[in-house]
Structure 1
Amino acid sequence: MPRQSTASTCCYCGVGCGVLIEHDDRQILGVSGDPAHPANFGKLCSKGASLHLTGDPGARALYPELRLGKDLPRSRCDWDSALEHAAGIFAQTIAEHGPDSVAFYISGQLLTEDYYAFNKLARALVGTNNIDSNSRLCMSSAVVGYKRSLGADAPPCSYEDLELSDCVMIVGSNMVYAHPVLFRRLEQAKSQRPQMKVLVIDPRRTDTCDLADLHLAILPGTDVALFHGILHLLLWEDWIDRDFIREHTEGLAELKALVRDYTPPMVAQLCGISVEYLQQCAQWIGNAASFLSLWCMGLNQSSAGSAKNSALINLHLATGQIGRPGAGPFSLTGQPNAMGGRETGSLSNLLPGHREAADPEHRAEVAAYWGVEQLPAHPGLSAIELFEQLPSGRIKALWIACTNPAQSLPDQNTVRAALQACPFVVLQEAFATTETAAFADLLLPAASWGEKEGTVTNSERRVSHVRQAVPAPGEARPDWAITLDFAQRLERRLRPGLPSLFDFTCAAQLFDEYKGLTQGRDLDLSGLSHQLIDRLGPQQWPFPNGVTQGTPRLYGNGVFPTASGRARFIADPYVAAKEQRDARFPLTLITGRLRDQWHGMSRTGTAAQLFGHVSEALLSLHPDELRRQRLREGDLVSLKSRRGSVIVAVARDDGVRPGQAFLPMHWGDRFLKGGVNAVTQSAFDPLSKQPELKHSGVRLEPVQLPWQLFALIEGEVQAHFKVLRPLCEAFAYVSFSLSGRERPALVIRAAHQEAPLPALLKLIDQQLGLEGGPVLAYDDPRRAIGKRVRIEQGRITAIRLAGETLAQHWLQQLWLEGRADEQLRRWLLAPMSAPPQASGLGGTRQRTLCNCKNVSYQAVGAGIAEGLDLEQLQQQLGCGSQCGSCVPEIKRLLAAAVQPASLPV
């Protein structure tokens, strides 16, 4: 079939980049940025640029699977049987225990039409508000902040404000990793206008800080104190807009009385920064012609997340910096359609059209629109509350869609026990390899990116059309279609003889019904349709009937959607994070993102090249902390909190303060035994109910695991993963990753107190294809050391080292290069364990610096040694010339004049 191109939207973060999908009507062949899309103008990050590599059929859910008992395996069934069974159980459960005995937990990655179908199902048919989404984990504090301060959940800014602002403050976001395309715009704007001030507030020194004129490395959780301290100085120095405050706000008197006590010395001590830095920050904000703030999970994932959001917005209200170009409080959405979920009511406290489930008038409006007598008034369970209720038996049937709570929720030991206890769990999911799939009694295969149609709303309120390019594999179906099919079957049991509430045949019909619920509201979408977006391009709401273009900024007239029409100053005092350092848990654990992975890695974890920069979970510690703990880089430690523990390797990181530790959020139990969230806490903000995933008290305990395993097997990665992951469960430490580009391989690193039984090693060897054939082997039973390498057609295809693994990086590099020379054969058949030093590689792995162009640290270091500057490196090697996410690291290497021999390993 000839290659075609279909314009669509990326499925990762909330930037909402336009993409062009190259395909042949059967499979996706490539992807590029859409130059016509106003969110990215053709730019893509490393994750978006590799979307076409994440469709491994071995990872996909292809057919419905059902099990009839918790101790039984699932078996394949047809759609009719699967949905009839689910409808029967839900109907029986509702009849016996009431509508609140069932619940729905959905995802910020669904399309708006999917959300709408789920909300109508839960509220209008089942009669429960027990519907929440994983947006609760990332955006709910921003929602509360906007609603309390401004009257509506409506980010007032546009991406073009990045280019127009004179002072940009980035708070709690490693923007260069989390929203790289937007960061590139900011970076370019600053290069063109060096007088622009960039402030970064983050406990860690991240790559984002390289752009900053000022980095405030505050102590974790002290954001509210910082913002109050800044406001104290703004008021003291009269760097405020008195006219704006008088005409457009209310509540300053109470806030003024509160922040009077937040003096510079007090705030500097609380936040762990200098008074001079605090004063400089306030001066730049107070004297800026335009002030823009950008924030993400560092503010939101906190037990004081709502207070942090409102305290930040207070700064904009005090300075009048809202509603005009280059100014405003701008939350950066974490997921591709978290905003679309909030618009349709996909949090347990919301209803479609930015309505409140607790408001009788709002419930009556939606009920009348849907043609039902009433909507449930009883509050629904938020995500954390939902999983806390599962063990008690209150929830007897749970429907999960497009999310992975067995990886993403905090306190994983409790979450997994809760899933196991739930009598009936349905998982509607594109990837059968997620941690949650193991708990599903019914697995329903869903269509994924490039295989379905609908809309998404990005961080700047821009609605884009997501277009289908290829058919879904196997029997996978679009999420909205699955939901409607189930709803129709359930309503025949719950509403026999009545007209169907779910008479839709395509996604466009769902959107057209949904938009009527927004008419006259702050987010009015009544003028939009799939067809209009196709004709005019993506549009920002509000977009009411009769207009020809969207709304770039809100509140330009100074009128806010509050009862008084005024924005509100919110006076919340600083409250410390729930878990502070103490004698038992002397470290503060911070979680965050990697550059090339996304969330729980259900998708990015299938693309081998996305492991090139960081291949395994590493706990980052300051060099002084490593010395204090008597640790060396690469040592394994048990990271323990009050909830659980995980064994992980440590790494040196000057960007982390002593007394703190950093661990990326992505590594679930599939890739790291136990997973990161075994140690995080479920304490949550009382208003937003968003958990404090960013901040946990932990301690380190050295572990002695002298017996080690390294294995590599190329081809059919997911099939090998499925068999080898359970076999490795016997080891104390297990880390899985992928490697390679042309020939992806599964890589295993494991460690244990002692050698395993020979039978287990034999099973592993069988799966690795090392039991026979062209295999070179050496065993030393006395030392419990063994090495095996399979060589086919002159190159390595499988490796297993047992006992010790000194040669693992050398062997992996030989595999990558397709070499199997005489030197390898001599090493294999001799007692030596360490790699031959003559190879020049020693025990160092060649890490990838630039994933887009596959450029290693060693190659960049060699170029620097030859005297190349950034522009020359980009021209000659290609690094940093595509998405630019690696540019901060390249600049640091240039600044330090690092030689290849001392590059990070």
Structure 2
Amino acid sequence: MNLSSVPLSVQTTCAYCGVGCGVKATPKADGGFEIAGDTAHPANAGRLCVKGSALGDTISLEGRLLYPMVRPQRGSDELRRVSWDDALGQVADKWQAIIDEHGPDAVALYVSGQLLTEDYYVANKLMKGYVGSANIDTNSRLCMSSAVAGYKRAFGEDVVPSSYEDLELADMIVLVGSNAAWCHPILFQRIAKAKEKRPDMKLVVIDPRRTATCELADLHLPVKPGTDVWLFNGLLSYLNQIGAVDPAFIAEHTNGFDAALAQADAECGDIAKVAKTCRVSVEALTEFYEAFAANAKVITGYSMGVNQSSAGTDKANAIINCHLIGGRIGKEGMGPFSITGQPNAMGGREVGGLANMLAAHMDLENAEHRNAVRTFWDSPRMADKGGLKAVDLFRAIEEGKVKAVWVMATNPVVSLPDADQVRRALAKCELVVSSDIIERTDTNAFADVLLPALGWGEKDGTVTNSERRISRQRAFLPAPGEARADWLIISQFAQRLGYTGFEFSSAYDVFDEHARLSAWRNDEADLPRKFNLAGLAGQGTQAYDAMAPVQWPLLAGEREGAKRIFADGLFSHPDRKARFIPTAPRLPANLPEEDFPLTLNTGRVRDQWHTMTRTGRSAKLADHIPESFIDMHPQDALIYGVREGELARLTSKWGAMVARVQHGGGIARGSVFVPIHWNNQTSSDARVGALVNPVVDPVSGEPEFKHTPVRIEQFRVNWHAFVLSRTELDLESVAHWTRIQGKAFARYEMAGRQNIDDFTAWARELLGVTDPDADWLEYADKSERMYRAVHVVNDRIEQCVFLSPRLDLPARGWLAGLFAEEQLSDLDRAGLLIGRPMKKGVDAGPTVCSCFGVGRNTICSAIRDKDLKTVPEVTACVKAGGNCGSCVPELKKILIETRAEISAEMPA
């Protein structure tokens, strides 16, 4: 056997959520890479969700930003390629001129949880220690800053006390504002497996929506949006009333208990009153309270439903209070567990990525901490006050107070609340720089200078997941074009500004400095921090390259980090005690009113990520939910005159968007849900960020993504259509459209308002077919205003368009399959003209299992034909649900519905 011919796998870490799954990338003969879960990684033990499994589909260079580009004229689409020397020179000259004239607070960085820790570290060192301004904030402000603030208030430091193992050891898990089945699938599967082994383990889900996560729950509390503090203050009061407290722990290891309890008792001491406020039954609330009290080993996992609120920090502290009262922290199977959103939100927190933080978990407002970091960095100009948080930063840009902004690895024109304000701000800003891997994004349209960064698979460094586990992200692809690592771009920029201290030659150099800073003066009485990487300092390049996943803190001489923290009862406040924080319940900042009677909630869908610049490139991920949607209760739809499947406009005080109405069955009356992913590159008008309430939490600065007053109305159109095309289309004349990536083609769902008199002329213009002798198949029914056309090149389908005044258009899956055919058969041509497949079983239906590409029709047929009665039987038959498991809740629903149909068909 020739060992040199054996492909070498590279162990790296997934690019998506904060679970931090290990990935193995193995080269294939065709030049691509096989992506699989790393069985040696503690976070996932070889499992990957569908997004992680599809990472290999997203590494092509199509659409990549490969060279430094400048925009010769503001507002122009023209970009001119320049050298790195010219690009960095232009940015440095303008940046320095602005500082000289207006001071260091006139410039800012806006960075991202997509950056590696090494990138994050250098960016924060530059701004806070050399520019002398804390105007560096991150998109983690939008998802995790309330959790950070809650931990800091309670513990004195931003520390997640638990590990994933505790989820498997707990007797009760409470998931609050977390659709883990879709947003953290591998973590959810660990919970599901644990519950399968120990059926007595109790799972409670607290969420206004009935999500896929609820399908596993023993109890779902569909609380009224914004009432979490009432719920957990009520729990605190209840625990005290029945004596479920640890008096010794409270006395020896905490402060503030009496004040927090008095606040809870004042408004939430009566279960009936709390139940009414939270809009849940007294019986269900009592069941939750009794179960929490009865089970000492409780993990409360909370995510965006808690954090993304104008009261997010209080919600986090209300949860933490309920753990402190019983000393349920630092031990196996218990603790308040913030489930992180992004792959390196935690790593960013370690290096002070937020505008109000300092590196190595030190406080910007603390003079002793500032002095420690300044001494270590030998910095000339240390920021001495907090910088502008994300929403305030872009307001300051529009007001002209901040005149230069550098955006790294994020897309704020889509992701920030009141996103149209962000567009106005960037349009007015004197200098906009963007480091990115994609050339065309909503944000990059405003950039004066575009700098090509390395992407996943190309960059090298570390990330930290939700359980404080540091993992290596390793390169297995060459740097494309002239793309560079973010830490290197920033270092070279800093040197152009004349700063020393940025002479890093590798990612290891940066990590080693970061690790040494974490241990710097860490044993002094006024600077104790749980965050400590002393055991990783000075390890050398070879050990860094081979570094296995490890949790912090990792002290000098140790090889394994701590699974859980605070077991010794020593916290990070100066007196080493935790704090109970009084949390006064309050309603969200903006409530529904006559003009805006509904409440908008936003979040993720299963198979997409953030603004889709990566996941949107994968055909595998496009089929499950191909378009944005407005999920609402059927009775609300009836009241407001909108119909399921049809388009509607959603409007708030800040903006508007258009999407299709659906009735998912999991949303209460008075609320609507819209996903966050679609943007102006993938849809004509589905940027939900434009609507979102920009009010923020007064402590954390995190926006109110879960509670925006809106109204809904019909978006009237005369026709609906879809196109499948191997070439990109110009859609300027189309009233509404969504672009969906297919295999070797793009799919466009569209609707229009104009009357079409000449179908053929309209279709040829839309598809760009100018050759009068083109192989063109068409069918038209003018009386019904229905039309179908197919453009064939060399007996292979090139494009097709189907149009109707109604929504009764053919199945897209069948047509997508024809694009894989090298030659259309006569039967295929006939099917195209009549609008349905001529062969039986060709249409698999809408995708349910993206991992294996299994459609609803295939699953329903198997249930009927094989008399399947359980989900494992369905999985064994058609494979659906056999990988990441995130489709299992949907499989359960299909199974129940299909079995019911079979029973109804049977003779009485």
**Where on the TM-score scale, by shorter chain, does this alignment land: which range?**
over 0.9
Instruction: Tell me which residue corresponds to 2:203.
Output: 198
Q: 1:422 to 1:172 in 2, by over 3 A?
A: same
Instruction: Tell me which residue corresponds to 1:515.
Output: 515
CA deviation string 1:396-445 (max 9, x = no partner): 11100000101111112111111111121111001123211211111111
Letter in 2 for 1:280: E
110-119 or 869-878, which deviates more: 869-878
CA deviation string 1:170-197 (max 9, x = no partner): 0000001111111001000001111111
Does 2:623 align with 1:612? yes
Q: CA deviation at 1:785?
A: 6.3
Q: 1:387 to 1:772 in 2, by over 3 A?
A: farther
Q: 1:306 to 1:502 in 2, by over 3 A?
A: same
Does 2:448 align with 1:441? yes
Which of these residues, 76, 85, 96, is aligned with residue 80 of structure 1?
85
Paired with 2:555 and 2:882, the residues of 1 have a C-alpha distance of 40
Partners of 2:301 and 2:339 within 8 A in 1? yes
Which of these residues, 728, 732, 740, is aligned with residue 731 of structure 2?
728
Paired with 1:87 and 1:658, the residues of 2 have a C-alpha distance of 53
| Partner secondary structure for residue 810 of structure 2 | helix
Q: 1:259 to 1:753 in 2, by over 3 A?
A: farther
Partners of 1:344 and 1:352 within 8 A in 2? yes
Letter in 2 for 1:889: E
Instruction: Tell me which residue corresponds to 2:867.
Output: 867
Instruction: Tell me which residue corresponds to 1:108.
Output: 113
Instruction: Tell me which residue corresponds to 1:706.
Output: 718
Paired with 1:240 and 1:654, the residues of 2 have a C-alpha distance of 39
Q: CA deviation at 1:208?
A: 0.4
CA deviation string 1:4-34 (max 9, x = no partner): 2100111101111110011269954111000
Q: CA deviation at 1:791?
A: 2.4
Letter in 1 for 2:858: A
Instruction: Tell me which residue corresponds to 2:283.
Output: 276
Q: 1:679 to 1:841 in 2, by over 3 A?
A: farther
Does 2:301 align with 1:302? no
Q: CA deviation at 1:672?
A: 2.7
Which of these residues, 8, 13, 17, is aligned with residue 17 of structure 2?
13
Counterparts of residues 466-485 of structure 1 (less than 5 Å): 466-485=473-492
Q: CA deviation at 1:761?
A: 4.9
Partners of 2:136 and 2:355 within 8 A in 1? yes
Paired with 2:689 and 2:747, the residues of 1 have a C-alpha distance of 23
Partners of 2:330 and 2:566 within 8 A in 1? yes
Instruction: Tell me which residue corresponds to 1:210.
Output: 215
Q: 1:46 to 1:837 in 2, by over 3 A?
A: closer
Partners of 1:136 and 1:689 within 8 A in 2? yes
Instruction: Tell me which residue corresponds to 2:298.
Output: 291
Paired with 1:758 and 1:662, the residues of 2 have a C-alpha distance of 36
Instruction: Tell me which residue corresponds to 2:577.
Output: 566
TM-score (norm 2): 0.93
Partners of 1:223 and 1:308 within 8 A in 2? yes
Partners of 1:464 and 1:533 within 8 A in 2? no
Partners of 2:788 and 2:835 within 8 A in 1? no
562-571 or 752-761, which deviates more: 752-761
Q: 1:779 to 1:489 in 2, by over 3 A?
A: farther
Which of these residues, 135, 138, 141, is aligned with residue 143 of structure 2?
138
**Please, which runs of 5 or more residues in structure 2 have no aligned partner?**
523-528
Paired with 1:24 and 1:838, the residues of 2 have a C-alpha distance of 36
Does 2:742 align with 1:739? yes
Paired with 2:632 and 2:803, the residues of 1 have a C-alpha distance of 29
Paired with 1:51 and 1:236, the residues of 2 have a C-alpha distance of 51
Q: 1:892 to 1:780 in 2, by over 3 A?
A: closer
Partners of 2:590 and 2:708 within 8 A in 1? yes
TM-score (norm 1): 0.93
| Partner secondary structure for residue 218 of structure 1 | coil
| Partner secondary structure for residue 58 of structure 1 | coil
Q: 1:899 to 1:603 in 2, by over 3 A?
A: farther
Identity %: 41
Partners of 1:604 and 1:610 within 8 A in 2? yes
Partners of 1:4 and 1:25 within 8 A in 2? no
Which of these residues, 552, 555, 559, is aligned with residue 566 of structure 2?
555
Q: 1:449 to 1:757 in 2, by over 3 A?
A: farther
Q: CA deviation at 1:515?
A: 1.5
Does 2:156 align with 1:151? yes
| Partner secondary structure for residue 897 of structure 1 | helix
Aligned length: 880
Q: CA deviation at 1:876?
A: 2.1
Instruction: Tell me which residue corresponds to 2:338.
Output: 331
Instruction: Tell me which residue corresponds to 2:468.
Output: 461
Instruction: Tell me which residue corresponds to 2:677.
Output: 666
Instruction: Tell me which residue corresponds to 1:30.
Output: 34
Which of these residues, 390, 395, 399, is aligned with residue 406 of structure 2?
399
Q: 1:772 to 1:805 in 2, by over 3 A?
A: farther
Paired with 1:707 and 1:34, the residues of 2 have a C-alpha distance of 48
Instruction: Tell me which residue corresponds to 1:851.
Output: 850
| Partner secondary structure for residue 154 of structure 1 | coil
Paired with 1:61 and 1:728, the residues of 2 have a C-alpha distance of 24
Paired with 1:20 and 1:337, the residues of 2 have a C-alpha distance of 19
| Partner secondary structure for residue 691 of structure 1 | coil
| Partner secondary structure for residue 472 of structure 1 | coil
Paired with 1:317 and 1:770, the residues of 2 have a C-alpha distance of 74
Instruction: Tell me which residue corresponds to 2:526.
Output: none
Does 2:626 align with 1:627? no
Paired with 2:205 and 2:771, the residues of 1 have a C-alpha distance of 52
Partners of 2:641 and 2:713 within 8 A in 1? no
Q: 1:353 to 1:289 in 2, by over 3 A?
A: same
Paired with 2:334 and 2:682, the residues of 1 have a C-alpha distance of 42
Does 2:537 align with 1:526? no
CA deviation string 1:755-793 (max 9, x = no partner): 599999578535478876322245678987654312245
| Partner secondary structure for residue 360 of structure 2 | coil
Partners of 1:453 and 1:467 within 8 A in 2? yes
Letter in 1 for 2:790: V
86-95 or 808-817, which deviates more: 808-817
Paired with 1:26 and 1:63, the residues of 2 have a C-alpha distance of 26
Q: CA deviation at 1:629?
A: 2.8
Does 2:420 align with 1:413? yes
Partners of 1:143 and 1:153 within 8 A in 2? yes
Q: CA deviation at 1:59?
A: 2.2
Partners of 1:410 and 1:693 within 8 A in 2? yes
| Partner secondary structure for residue 190 of structure 2 | helix
CA deviation string 1:721-768 (max 9, x = no partner): xxx3xx42443322221234xx34333323335559999957853547
**Please, which runs of 5 or more residues in structure 1 have no aligned partner?**
none
Q: 1:51 to 1:118 in 2, by over 3 A?
A: same
Paired with 1:600 and 1:565, the residues of 2 have a C-alpha distance of 42
Does 2:548 align with 1:545? no
Paired with 1:252 and 1:537, the residues of 2 have a C-alpha distance of 41
Paired with 1:71 and 1:244, the residues of 2 have a C-alpha distance of 61
Paired with 2:753 and 2:438, the residues of 1 have a C-alpha distance of 30
Q: CA deviation at 1:370?
A: 1.2
Instruction: Tell me which residue corresponds to 1:340.
Output: 347
Q: CA deviation at 1:804?
A: 4.1
Partners of 1:668 and 1:677 within 8 A in 2? no
Partners of 2:721 and 2:751 within 8 A in 1? yes
| Partner secondary structure for residue 558 of structure 1 | coil
| Partner secondary structure for residue 44 of structure 2 | coil
Paired with 1:626 and 1:137, the residues of 2 have a C-alpha distance of 30
Does 2:174 align with 1:162? no
Does 2:769 align with 1:765? no
Instruction: Tell me which residue corresponds to 2:752.
Output: 751
218-227 or 248-257, which deviates more: 248-257
CA RMSD after TM alignment = 2.6
CA deviation string 1:439-488 (max 9, x = no partner): 11111111111101101111000111111111122111111111112111
Paired with 1:502 and 1:394, the residues of 2 have a C-alpha distance of 28
